[in-house]
Amino acid sequence: MTRIDATFERLKSEGKKAFVSYMMAGDPDEATALSVMRGLPAAGVDIIELGLPFTDPMADGSTIQLAGQRALENGMTLEKTLDMVRAFRSDDDTTPIVLMGYYNPIYNRGVDQFLIDAKEAGIDGLIVVDLPPEEDEELCIPAQNAGLNFIRLATPTTDDQRLPKVLQNTSGFVYYVSITGITGAAAAQAADVAPEVARIKAQTDLPVIVGFGIRTPDVAEEIAGVADGCVVGSAIVAELASGKSGDEVLSFVKTLADGAHSA
């Protein structure tokens, strides 16, 4: 059982939905990013989704693209991202961390070495958005064998014929993308999300977490109310980009977590 599995079991026993927060490693700088990351659990975050900076983040909107550019310009690398996780783990051995990014940096490091390093650093799961199920032998299955969850995205365009393929080697949870498009592009609507979550849950026992388009506590509550939890990314990254202090950002995160947990 991974930390992700244990977290969902705990939340289920407490009758609570999950709140997942996204942040970009190294944005706006290494020290601030680590300080914010360390404060996320106390702000109510159940699972941390940590972005791995990459030069061509095709699934991300401008907010997260710019965060990745800032991190790269500040010298953030895959190794420094893993060091950030190691530093976090020196104080927190329970909060799950999901590394979200693209395959190129992992491929460049070598899959076998990456998986050894990620596991040692304290990563619990991976979301690699540019590896489809047809490429599961490339990273998904080796990651599962190494004890890491491999979390797949389902979208509004994932039809009933495609869905079983998406789910077949997924573990940890299913990430449902609430809108068609890139991160931060539009607002999520619970009325649209609810039937899609039900459709996915009819084919898997995994928790279904909804992301994209969630910016306020009210929307977090509405979306978590029709799923097993929600993810907020661009709204948090935008707070950091605006120059707010780490404490101010964490206060904002807490309002979102409180919204999701009240669902």
Q: Please give the model's pTM, rounded to 2 decimal places.
A: 0.96
- 216 domain residue, yes or no: yes
Residue 46 falls in the annotated catalytic set: no
Task: Name the pLDDT band for 187 (thresholds 50, 70, 90).
Answer: confident
150 pLDDT above the threshold of 60: yes
Residue 117 falls in the annotated catalytic set: no
- 263 domain residue, yes or no: no
Chain centroid to CA 34: how far?
A: 16
Q: Outline where 178-245 has alpha helix (H).
A: 190-201, 217-225, 234-241
41-45, 177-181, 210-214: segment of lowest average pLDDT: 177-181
Q: Give 40's contacts (C-beta < 8 A, 6+ positions apart).
A: 21, 23, 48, 95, 250, 253
In the set 27, 30, 46, 60, the catalytic residue is 60
Chain centroid to CA 61: how far?
A: 15
184 pLDDT above the threshold of 70: no
- 130 domain residue, yes or no: yes
- 262 domain residue, yes or no: no
DSSP per-residue string spanning 103-162: HHHHHHH-HHHHHHHHHHHT--EEEETT--GGGTTTTHHHHHHTT-EE--EE-TT--TTT
Q: Residue 183's domain spans which residues?
A: 3-257
In the set 5, 27, 30, 49, the catalytic residue is 49
Considering its fold, how many domains does the chain have in total? 1
Smallest Cα–Cα separation from 222: which of 179, 183, 256, 184? Answer: 256
Residue 114: give its domain's CATH number. Answer: 3.20.20.70
